[in-house]
């Protein structure tokens, strides 16, 4: 048993002496983790590098990590036509409005549903939760949105469906549960109504929860392309960012619009690098911002993950 050196019991914190097995695992761990972490960012880096490479070099030699024949042509092409900036403004607007409205509704609902004295909470909770157990499917949904609600080509078709989800409501419920019921009770003793209690007493204590859920929603809106692909046809000029990227990459027509007016023929367009530049611009903010708000996502995952 004396394979490892003596343990210093007095200092129970950091200064534990290492055994052979620890060193083995740590070395193994450092190598593997480094490899995996690099693998996570590597695909992104090669696109970034190649977006600054000239189109001719790219077509001749393929995608590489380091830019060759450094040029800003692709970025100039994408930004000059202005379409991407309009997409940006649209996406930011939808994200802001959707997150604000959705978060308000989710917060209210989450609070009400965790109030033990609320007699309807079980029924309403089940009503909401059931929708994640059984869904009508895409075809009926599509027909309803286009024929009954007449939302084809409307930005509302993108904004509305993403306002909330059963998972976010349950997550909010879990967050609110950690606020002691005494707060509500003391509010009631003071004669305040439920809404007053919610706004003045509960909401201020919910700031981390609001940040977490707000960020999840904002990410959902920013990355959204699915509803756009269902309901926004070519009649709509400005599309949300990720869908605009999707079309630029997959449709020549869209590619032409993205670099509108700058090239005479389609074959003149440096299409590969333009697509990459568009991709980088569409994702830029997320990649730059997420390290700063990572902890909110981590808190959301841990609070929400296990208890459904």
Minimum distance, C-beta of residue 40 to other proteins, in the bound complex (Å)? 5
Element (H, E) at 258: helix 252-258
Question: Considering beta carbons, is residue 106 or 213 the nearer one to other proteins?
Answer: 106
Residue 215 sits at φ, ψ, to 5 deg, of: -65, -40
Question: Considering beta carbons, is residue 26 or 80 the nearer one to other proteins?
Answer: 26
Question: Considering beta carbons, is residue 70 or 141 the nearer one to other proteins?
Answer: 141
Question: Considering beta carbons, is residue 104 or 261 the nearer one to other proteins?
Answer: 104
Output the CA–CA distances (angstroms, integers) from residue 204 to 96, 175, 179, in the order listed: 20, 13, 11
SS (H, E, C) 93-137: HHHHHHHHHHHHHHHHHHHHHHCCCCCCHHHHHHHHHHHHHCCCC
> In this structure, are residues 197 and 184 in contact, taking their beta carbons and an 8 Å threshold?
yes
> In this structure, are residues 126 and 166 in contact, taking their beta carbons and an 8 Å threshold?
no
Minimum distance, C-beta of residue 19 to other proteins, in the bound complex (Å)? 5
Minimum distance, C-beta of residue 248 to other proteins, in the bound complex (Å)? 10
Question: Considering beta carbons, is residue 56 or 261 the nearer one to other proteins?
Answer: 56
Helix, strand, coil percent content, the chain, rounded in steps of 5: 70, 0, 30
Question: Considering beta carbons, is residue 182 or 264 the nearer one to other proteins?
Answer: 182
Residues 6+ apart with CB under 8 A from 85: 79
Minimum distance, C-beta of residue 63 to other proteins, in the bound complex (Å)? 4
Rounded to 5 degrees, what angle do the CA atoms 158, 168, 184 make? 130
Minimum distance, C-beta of residue 285 to other proteins, in the bound complex (Å)? 10
Minimum distance, C-beta of residue 43 to other proteins, in the bound complex (Å)? 4
């Amino acid at each position: 048993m004396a394979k490892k050196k003596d343990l210093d019991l007095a200092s129970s914190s950091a200064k534990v002496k290492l055994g052979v097995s620890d060193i083995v695992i740590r070395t193994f761990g450092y190598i593997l983790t480094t490899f995996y972490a690099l693998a996570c960012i590597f695909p992104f880096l090669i696109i970034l590098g190649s977006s600054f490479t000239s189109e001719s070099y790219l077509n001749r030699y393929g995608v590489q990590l380091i830019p060759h024949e450094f040029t800003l042509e692709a970025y100039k092409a994408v930004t000059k036509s202005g379409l991407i900036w309009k997409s940006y403004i649209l996406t930011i607007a939808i994200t802001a409005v959707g997150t604000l409205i959705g978060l308000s509704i989710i917060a209210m609902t989450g609070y009400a549903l965790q109030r033990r004295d609320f007699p309807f909470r079980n029924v309403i909770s089940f009503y909401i939760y059931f929708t994640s157990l059984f869904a009508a499917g895409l075809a009926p949904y599509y027909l309803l949105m286009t024929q009954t609600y007449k939302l084809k080509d409307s930005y509302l078709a993108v904004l509305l469906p993403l306002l909330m989800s059963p998972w976010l409501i349950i997550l909010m419920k879990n967050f609110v549960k950690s606020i002691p019921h005494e707060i509500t009770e003391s509010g009631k003793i003071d004669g305040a109504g439920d809404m007053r209690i919610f706004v003045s007493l509960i909401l201020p204590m919910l700031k981390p929860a609001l940040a977490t859920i707000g960020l999840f929603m904002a990410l959902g809106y920013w990355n959204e392309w699915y509803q756009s692909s269902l309901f926004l046809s070519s009649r709509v000029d400005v599309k949300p960012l990720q869908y605009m990227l999707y079309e630029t990459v997959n449709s020549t027509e869209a590619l032409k619009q993205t670099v509108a007016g700058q090239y005479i023929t389609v074959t003149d367009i440096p299409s590969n690098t333009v697509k990459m530049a568009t991709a980088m611009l569409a994702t830029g903010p997320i990649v730059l911002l997420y390290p700063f708000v990572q902890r909110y996502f981590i808190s959301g995952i841990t609070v929400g993950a296990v208890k459904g």
